[in-house]
Every structure is written in C-alpha cells, then in structure tokens.
Amino acid sequence: MEPLERYRPIIDDFDAFLAACERPLGNAVRVNTIKASVERTLAALNEAGVDYDQADWNPRVLTLEIDSPGSTWTSFHGFTHGQEEVSAVPPVVLEPQPGDRVWDCCAAPGGKATQIAALMDDRGTVVANDNNLGRISALRFNAERLGATGLAVTNADARNYSLERFDFDAFDRTLVDAPCSCEGTIRKNPDALDNWSEGHISSVAGIQKGIIRRAIQATREGGTVVYSTCTFAPEENEAVVQHALDNEPCRVVDFDLELEHAPGLTAWDGETFDERLERAARIYPHQNDTGGFFVAKLEVTA
C-alpha cells in the first residue's frame, strides 16, 4: 500500500480509504437488457436461490452473494455479465442513444462496449476497438454471448485510428476507458501495486494523452467524449484531460452521478488544472464499497 501514501493529501478519511483497499471486493454483475429485462433477471436469480443486492444508483447493477457469478444460469444465458460496479459508470455518463455511432477506443474484454450497446437498445453502431490482439477473442466472445448485434470489433492503435473503413467521418460519442496503472483495482487484484513506479505512470500517461486527443478528433462537433481510468494518479487523470483541453477543441461538462464521489482536482504536485475539472468524479473505494475510478465528460466544440 506504500505507493498510495502519495494520495493522502487529496483523499478525505485516508485511513478509511486504505482499510477499504485492503478488503476483498464483492462479486458484481450487470444485467444485460439486450437479452432480458431487470425484472426477468431478478426472477431467474430468485428461482435459482441466488441472493443479491441491487445498486441504489443503477438497477441494472447487482452484487451477487455467490463465489462464482459466471457459473449462474443467468450468466450462461447472457442475462448477466460480470462487471465491477464502478466499471458500469462511464457508459452511463456517456449517455448513448439508440441510433448513435459510438466508439469504444480500448474495449476489451467488452464489458463497457456491450453495456453501451444495451443502453442503445442494440440500435445503432458500437465500434469496439482494442490494440491488443490477444484480447480481441474475449471481446468478440462477450459481444456474441450478450447478443450485441450492432457491435463491430476492430484491432488498431487508438492513437492513430483511421475512419477510412467506415462510411461516416465522425462518431457521435466516444468512450476512452484508457489503459492505466490500475491502482483502483487493488481490491480485485492484490498484486496491482507490485510493479508500481512513477516512471510507469509517466509512460502510460503519454499513451493516454495520444488516445484522448484522437478520440476528440474522431468525434463530431457537439459530440461527447468520456475519459475514464481505474487509477488514482492525477498524472493519468486530470493531467491527461488538461492536455486534451490545451490541444483539442473541447470543454469539460457536468454530469449527474448518484454514487458518492469527490470532485476532480485543480492542482497536483505544483501543477494547476482548469477549474472546470472539478466537474470530473473521483470515486474512492471507501465511499461506496467499490473499486476506484476517475471519470470526466467532455463536449467537442468548434
């Protein structure tokens, strides 16, 4: 936990934060409304004798009182998909609409991409891209298992992603769930900090800056880009969004989130950020008994 000490000045009740990071995470799933309604899914879980808690902020998110949520009848039939509770936040903030063209830049293994498809009632186009060929098979499997018929899979580096393969020249909405140092997954992956270093944070931040810039370039004026990570490092969060604000036509906008969260930072380690970054959300493990996440919403401007 030593690397997390650097965040003591920015996290209220830091001792509670550390204690939460040391507790194992519950088993959360998302109801896949492409295959079944929430009501039908809950009925199936009740019939199978699986206990669950429904998230207050999102009725499609459940925590199952079972060790292997992937072994349930509902999972086998695609009614549910294993997905950490805070991982379901970015697609909700993106607010995709039926008929939209949506790009998920870093989509594997497909939890958020298929959630986007479900929020669109599987009407429209979701382009689920990942640069890791080894993870594409998981992405395709989950798209097929969950019945996302409007989802296309591509394998490319998001930093120089080409739209020439499509018959349109811009997306309506883009999700950048960026590769990161994964500090916020410590409850699920106890070894997440084993190879932690500030050098790694700096390296991955450079990749993130390239991806978010291309995402804005590939999204139409008036469109939406959501940037998210599962890490606490401001270098990978506010600093990356600030880089986008400095180099691309966009602005940070408000969004509603019923989960408890802290505002984005406007300063870190001698660096200052646009005051509107307070509109971003920092979700810490002790606030809602979840993993850690950062989410910012951008509007593409002229």
C-alpha angle 205/172/147, rounded to 5°? 90
Is residue 182 helix, strand or coil? coil
Beta-sheet pairing, 171-177 with 219-229: parallel
| 111 marked among binding-site residues | yes
| 110 marked among binding-site residues | yes
Is residue 216 helix, strand or coil? helix
Dihedral, 132, 228, 236, 109 alpha carbons, nearest 10? -20
| 53 marked among binding-site residues | no
| 108 marked among binding-site residues | yes
Residue with tokens 């997905």: 83
| 36 marked among binding-site residues | no
Task: Decide if 230 is catalytic.
Answer: yes
| 249 marked among binding-site residues | no
Say if CB 298 and CB 216 are below 8 A apart.
yes
| 177 marked among binding-site residues | yes
Cα dist from 14 to 4, 86, 194, whole Å: 10, 20, 21
The single residue of 21, 182, 230, 250 carrying the catalytic annotation is 230
Chain centroid to CA 9: how far? 25
Chain centroid to CA 170: how far? 21
| 106 marked among binding-site residues | yes
* Residue list for the binding site for S-adenosyl-L-methionine: 106-112, 130, 157, 177
* Residue list for the binding site: 106-112, 130, 157, 177
Instruction: Point out the residues that are catalytic.
Output: 230
